[in-house]
């Protein structure tokens, strides 16, 4: 197993836990802000139409956060610094997404996909 180049490490369990509590937050902790937002959006959109698919994206996010933190620690993925500001910004995006969910589901319920 390779050692991290930076000497710093991520906690894979903590990363996965963050993603289980707040979808995509584990990615933000790992320094992958955009990836976390994409997982959050995917979970919300799939969850509106088919709850099991939304749950699958949510669980994928937790597994991905864990695996990415392990790969960063092993040196196979470049270590990305995370800041408290990025984590707080992600939580703000998460809250906005949660607040907009009823409006999005109402608008999309009226759309005909056929």
- Where exactly are the structural domains of the chain? 12-109
The reported pTM is 0.79
pLDDT tens digit sequence for 51-96: 899 999 999 999 999 999 999 999 999 999 888 888 898 889 888 8
pLDDT tens digit sequence for 17-59: 999 999 999 999 999 999 999 999 899 888 878 889 999 999 9
3-state secondary structure the chain: CCCCCCCCCCCHHHHHHHHHHCCCHHHHHCCCHHHHHHHHHHHHHHHHHCHHHHHHHHHHHHHHHHHHHHHHHHCCCCCCCCCHHHHHHHHHHHHHHHHHHHHHHHHHHCCCCC
């Amino acid at each position: 197993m390779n050692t991290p180049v930076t000497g710093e490490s991520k906690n894979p369990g903590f990363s996965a836990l963050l993603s289980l509590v707040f979808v995509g937050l584990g990615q933000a902790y790992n320094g992958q802000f955009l990836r976390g937002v994409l997982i959050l959006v995917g979970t919300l959109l799939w969850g509106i139409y088919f709850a099991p698919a939304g749950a699958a994206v949510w669980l994928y996010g937790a597994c991905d956060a864990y695996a990415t933190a392990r790969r960063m620690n092993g040196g196979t993925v470049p270590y990305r610094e995370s800041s408290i500001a990025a984590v707080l910004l992600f939580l703000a995006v998460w809250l906005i997404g949660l607040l907009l969910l009823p409006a999005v589901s109402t608008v999309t319920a009226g759309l005909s996909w056929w």
